[in-house]
C-alpha cells in the first residue's frame, strides 16, 4: 500500500470537521473494503481517520414501535445474530449471512457495508483499464467488455456497474432510513435515495457530501417484516457476490397478497425496487404462479441487457417468484 | 512523503503476552505478526481477504489479519496458531486435523484451524448461518451439520481440496461425533 498517516478519534464533530476540510482523508471502520481498494490502487487517501472509537454507534436500539436503529459501527455478524433482527426482519439476517465470510462479517461495519464500492473487475483492476468510476472521463471498459455480472437497469454509457451489498437490498425493500450527521447537523436519507444511478458521474456512489458520517440505519416496523426472505443467486454456493438477488417481504391474507415489498441486487448501480410489480402483485394468490409471473414481469419492461447478461432478465424474474413464495410461507 | 512517515507505537497482547511495537501506519496486522514478532505460523495467501490463510482471533473473534492495520489493534488480545496449544497440549481441533488428515501442503492449515475454533464458538453462542433452515429459530450444537460446517468455513480456501477431511475434523472437535 502507498504511505499514509493514521489517527484515531472519539469525537464525531471532530471527525466530520476533519473529513469536510480535507479531501485526501478517509474514514476507516472495519477497513475490509477500503484496504482492498488501497491495495488494488483504486484509491489513495493520504490520511485515514479511525472512527471505531466513536461513542453510541455500535449498538442496536429499539425505535419504540418495533422498529430498530442499527448503529453504523455494528458489525455484520452481530446484527445477523441479534434475536430481534432474526425475529422481526429475517430478510436482514439472511442477507447478512449470505454475504462475505465469517471472518469478514466479524470485521465489516454496517455503515461500511452500504458504502462498499462495486466489484466490477475493471474498476478493481490495478493495471488501470479505462473506468469512469476510478478515473472520471477515461471511459467504461465493461460497456462493450466482460459485462456478464453487470447492470440490466438504470445504467448509463458511462458506467454499467452494480452495487455489491446484500443487506442494502434488504434495507431498500423495507424502506429503511440512513441517519447521517454532517456539518449542518443530522439528517435522514431514505434508503432508496441513498445510492445514486451512475448517469454522467459514476465516481459518485451515494448522496453523501464531504464530512458526512453515517451514524445509523433505522428500520421501521413493517407489516411485511416477519414474512420476509433474501434469495441470492451466484456462481458459487457460498462466499461470492450475487448474479442477482431478491429481498422480498409480504403481507398475505388467506393465501392472497395484501402488500409486497421487493428489491433486487446485482441488477443496477443501486438496490433496485420493483415498484410496478409491488402494485401489480396486490391481490394475487401466492400459489398462482402464472398470475405472480405476469405481475412480476411489469417491472422488467424497462430492463436493458448488455451483450453478456441478458440471462439475468429471466433469472431475476424466477428469483423474485421464488422469493415471494418463500416469504409468503413464513408465519 | 514515502519513507518519511512517522512510525506509530502500538501495544498488542499476542498469545497472552503484551508486545510493544512501532509500526508504519500501513503495516497490516499480518505483517506485524510475521515480520515484527516472527510469528510465521499465520500465512499470507492472497493478501486481499479472499483466502482465509491469515485468519487469527482478535478479542476472541476470527478476523483476517491481512485486511486490518496493526496500528488499529491497540490494547487488543490477539491469538495466533502459535497460541492455541496449552502447556504442550495441542488444541482439540489441532489433534483432529492430524487424526483426520485435514491437510496436504499445510499452507492454509493455520487459517483453517483458527477459523474452525471460532466456528465452534460461534455455533455454541447460537449464531445461525446461511445454511440454517430457519435463522429465526434458536441454533444449537446438534444443528451443526456438515452442510453448516462447510458454509461456516467457506472463507477458508484449500487448494489441495482437503475439504471433506477438514469438515470431519471440525465436526470431531465440536463433539458432534
- Grid cell, residue A318, equals 424466477
**Looking at domain B8-83, does it have CATH number 3.10.20.30?**
yes
* The architecture CATH gives domain A5-53: 2-Layer Sandwich (3.30)
Cβ–Cβ < 8 Å for B94, B84: yes
CA distance B10 to A258: 57
| Domain residue extents for chain A | 5-53, 228-328
**Nearest CA among A180, A227, A303, A75 for reference residue B122:** A75
Gap between the Cα atoms of A263 and A96, Å rounded: 15
Interchain pair B71, A77: CB under 8 A:
no
Contact B135 A86 (CB under 8 A): yes
Least confident of A307-311, B149-153, B173-177: B173-177
H or E element that contains A28: strand A25-28
| Report field, pTM of the whole predicted structure over 0.95 | yes
Chain A contact for B146 (CB, 8 A cutoff): no
Q: Looking at the complex, does the CB of residue B43 fall below 8 Å from at least one CB of chain A?
A: no
Q: In whole angstroms, what separates CA A315 from the centre of its chain?
A: 20
Indicate the burial class of A295 (C-beta count within 10 angstroms; 0-12, 13-18, 19 or more): buried
Q: A93 and B118 in contact by Cβ < 8 A?
A: no
Q: How many CB pairs under 8 A join A and B?
A: 117
Q: Taking a contact as any Cβ pair under 8 Å apart, which residues of chain A between 70 and 109 contact chain B?
A: 77, 80-81, 86-87, 90, 93-94, 97-98, 100-104, 106-107
Closest Cβ–Cβ partner in B26, B118, B155 for A3: B26
Q: Tell me whether the CATH fold assigned to B8-83 matches the one assigned to B92-173.
A: no
Fold for the domain defined by B92-173:
DNA polymerase; domain 1 (1.10.150)
User: Does B11 score more than 90 pLDDT?
Assistant: yes
What is the dihedral angle through the alpha carbons of A222, A224, A225, A228, rounded to the nearest 10 degrees?
A: -160
pLDDT tens per residue, range A123-158? 999 998 999 999 999 999 999 999 999 999 999 999
Cite the DSSP H helix spans in chain B: 29-31, 92-99, 109-124, 146-152, 163-173
Provide the residue count of chain B: 177
ipTM more than 0.85? yes
Which is nearest to A74 in space by CA: A52, A92, A90, A100?
Answer: A52
The rounded mean pLDDT for chain A is 97
What pLDDT does B4 receive? Answer: 64
Which cell numbers in the block locate residue A227? 414474512
Query: By three-state DSSP, how is residue A316 classified?
Result: helix
| pLDDT of res. B177 | 59
Per-residue burial over B119-136, b if 16 or more Cβ lie within 10 Å, else e, is bbebbeeebbbbbbeebb
Contacts of A94 in chain B (CB under 8 A): 130, 135
> Which residue on chain A is closest to B135 by alpha carbon?
A86
Does residue A329 carry a pLDDT above 70? yes
Place of cell 435515495: A193
Tens digit of pLDDT for each residue in A161-212? 999 999 999 999 999 999 999 999 999 999 999 999 999 999 999 999 999 9
Taking the CA of residue B67 and the nearest CA in chain A, the distance in Å comes to 6
Overall fold of domain A228-328: Enolase-like; domain 1 (3.30.390)
* pLDDT of B1: 44
Q: Kindly report the nearest CA distance between residue A3 and chain B, in angstroms.
A: 6
State pLDDT tens for residues A14-29: 999 999 999 999 999 9
Res. B43: pLDDT tops 80: yes
What is the average pLDDT score of chain B? Answer: 96
Nearest to A262 by CA among A206, A300, A234: A300
Amino acid at each position: 500500500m502507498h504511505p499514509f498517516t493514521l489517527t484515531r478519534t472519539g469525537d464525531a464533530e471532530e471527525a466530520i470537521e476533519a473529513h469536510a476540510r480535507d479531501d485526501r482523508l478517509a474514514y476507516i471502520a472495519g477497513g475490509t473494503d477500503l484496504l482492498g481498494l488501497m491495495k488494488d490502487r483504486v484509491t489513495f487517501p493520504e490520511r485515514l481517520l479511525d472512527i471505531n472509537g466513536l461513542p453510541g454507534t455500535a449498538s442496536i436500539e429499539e425505535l419504540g414501535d418495533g422498529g430498530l436503529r442499527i448503529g453504523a459501527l455494528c458489525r455484520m455478524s452481530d446484527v445477523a445474530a441479534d434475536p430481534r433482527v432474526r425475529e422481526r426482519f429475517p430478510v436482514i439476517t439472511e442477507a447478512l449471512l449470505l454475504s462475505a465470510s465469517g471472518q469478514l462479517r466479524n470485521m465489516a461495519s454496517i455503515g461500511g457495508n452500504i458504502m462498499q464500492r462495486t466489484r466490477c473487475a475493471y474498476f478493481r483492476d490495478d493495471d488501470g483499464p479505462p473506468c469512469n468510476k476510478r478515473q472520471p472521463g477515461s471511459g467504461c471498459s465493461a460497456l462493450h467488455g466482460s459485462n456478464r455480472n453487470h447492470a440490466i437497469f438504470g445504467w448509463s454509457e458511462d458506467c454499467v456497474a452494480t452495487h455489491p451489498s446484500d443487506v442494502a437490498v434488504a434495507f431498500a425493500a423495507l424502506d429503511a432510513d440512513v441517519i447521517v450527521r454532517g456539518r449542518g447537523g443530522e439528517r435522514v436519507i431514505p434508503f432508496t435515495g441513498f445510492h445514486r444511478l451512475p448517469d454522467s458521474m459514476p465516481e459518485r456512489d451515494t448522496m453523501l457530501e464531504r464530512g458526512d458520517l453515517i451514524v445509523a440505519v433505522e428500520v421501521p416496523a413493517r407489516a411485511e417484516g416477519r414474512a420476509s426472505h433474501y434469495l441470492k443467486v451466484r456462481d458459487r454456493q457460498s462466499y461470492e457476490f450475487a448474479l442477482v438477488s431478491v429481498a422480498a417481504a409480504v403481507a398475505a391474507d388467506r393465501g392472497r397478497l395484501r402488500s409486497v415489498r421487493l428489491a433486487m441486487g446485482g441488477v443496477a448501480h443501486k438496490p433496485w425496487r420493483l415498484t410496478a410489480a409491488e402494485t401489480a402483485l396486490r391481490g394475487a394468490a401466492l400459489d398462482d404462479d402464472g398470475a405472480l409471473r405476469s405481475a412480476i414481469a411489469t417491472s422488467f419492461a424497462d430492463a436493458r441487457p448488455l451483450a453478456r447478461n441478458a440471462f439475468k432478465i429471466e433469472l431475476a424474474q424466477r428469483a423474485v417468484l421464488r422469493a415471494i413464495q418463500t416469504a409468503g410461507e413464513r408465519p | 512523503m514515502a519513507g518519511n512517515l512517522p512510525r506509530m507505537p502500538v501495544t498488542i497482547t499476542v498469545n497472552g503476552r503484551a508486545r510493544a511495537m512501532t509500526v508504519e501506519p500501513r503495516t497490516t496486522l499480518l505483517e506485524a505478526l510475521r515480520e515484527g514478532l516472527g510469528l510465521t505460523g499465520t500465512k499470507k495467501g492472497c493478501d486481499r481477504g479472499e483466502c482465509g490463510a491469515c485468519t487469527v482471533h482478535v478479542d476472541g473473534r476470527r478476523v483476517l489479519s491481512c485486511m486490518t492495520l496493526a496500528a488499529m489493534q491497540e490494547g487488543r488480545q490477539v491469538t495466533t496458531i502459535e497460541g492455541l496449544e496449552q502447556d504442550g497440549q495441542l488444541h482439540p481441533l489441532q489433534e483432529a486435523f492430524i487424526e483426520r488428515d485435514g491437510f496436504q501442503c499445510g499452507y492454509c492449515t493455520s487459517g483453517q484451524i483458527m477459523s474452525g475454533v471460532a466456528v465452534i464458538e460461534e455455533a455454541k453462542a447460537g449464531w445461525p448461518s446461511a445454511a440454517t433452515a430457519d435463522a429465526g429459530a434458536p441454533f444449537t450444537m446438534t444443528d451443526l451439520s456438515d452442510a453448516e460446517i462447510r458454509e461456516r468455513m467457506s472463507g477458508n480456501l484449500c487448494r489441495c481440496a482437503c475439504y471433506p477431511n477438514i469438515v470431519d475434523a471440525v465436526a470431531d472437535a465440536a463433539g458432534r461425533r
